């Protein structure tokens, strides 16, 4: 059995102070939400073997907050540009190529890709993952290469507004 946590980056700022979409930073709401959701995962004893993120500032910052709280070394975070640029199919390829020693993974990225990927893996119909939303999926296989549409069970979906 393997577990996949799919996390949409926390709420980010927008406006002319940013040189582009890639450089947008988390705002105060996003920083607070990331700490709250990461704390909830810590309470659930989540311990990722591998953390992969889009290198965009808002996604990387969200991943770093989660890693700090969950005790995962920040310098071990794997940054993958294809999470920023690609769709659900690209994420499927990333998962299918993972090393089997990784039993619990966390993927940090952007909408609409993270929602589409969660739905693709689980056959669920999530409308749109909230910022800093977290999906937990169980994958009943020992081989990541077995990943395919509908292969996972949606265990839970959590997001900041559930904890206000």
Q: 13-44 pLDDT, tens per residue?
A: 876 666 677 878 999 999 999 999 999 999 99
- Residue 15 class from Cβ within 10 Å (0-12 exposed, 13-18 middle, 19+ buried)? exposed
CATH number of the domain at 138, please. Answer: 3.40.50.1240
The number of domains in the chain is 1
CA distance 9 to 134: 9
* pLDDT at 14 (0 to 100): 78
Q: Which domain holds residue 94?
A: 2-163
The pTM score is 0.95
CA distance 64 to 34: 10
* pLDDT at 23 (0 to 100): 78
pLDDT at position 109 over 80: yes
- Three-state DSSP state, 135: strand
Nearest to 53 by CA among 71, 67, 42, 32: 67
* pLDDT at 164 (0 to 100): 74
Q: 63-78 pLDDT, tens per residue?
A: 999 999 999 999 999 9
Q: Where are the beta strands (DSSP E) in the chain?
A: 2-8, 50-53, 78-79, 104-109, 134-139, 152-158
């Amino acid at each position: 059995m393997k577990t996949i946590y799919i996390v949409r980056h926390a709420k980010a700022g927008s406006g002319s102070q940013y040189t582009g979409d890639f450089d947008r930073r988390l705002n105060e709401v996003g920083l607070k939400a990331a700490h709250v959701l990461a704390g909830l995962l810590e309470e659930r004893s989540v311990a990722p073997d591998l953390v992969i993120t889009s290198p965009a500032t808002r996604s990387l910052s969200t991943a770093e907050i989660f890693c700090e709280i969950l005790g995962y070394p920040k310098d071990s975070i794997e940054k993958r540009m294809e999470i920023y640029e690609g769709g659900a199919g690209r994420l499927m390829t990333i998962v299918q190529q993972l090393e089997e020693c990784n039993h619990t993974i966390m993927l940090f990225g952007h909408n609409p890709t993270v929602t589409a990927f969660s739905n693709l893996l689980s056959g669920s119909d999530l409308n749109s993952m909230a910022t800093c939303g977290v999906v937990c999926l169980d994958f009943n296989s020992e081989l990541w290469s077995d990943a395919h549409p509908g292969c996972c069970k949606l265990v839970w979906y959590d997001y900041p507004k559930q904890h206000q």
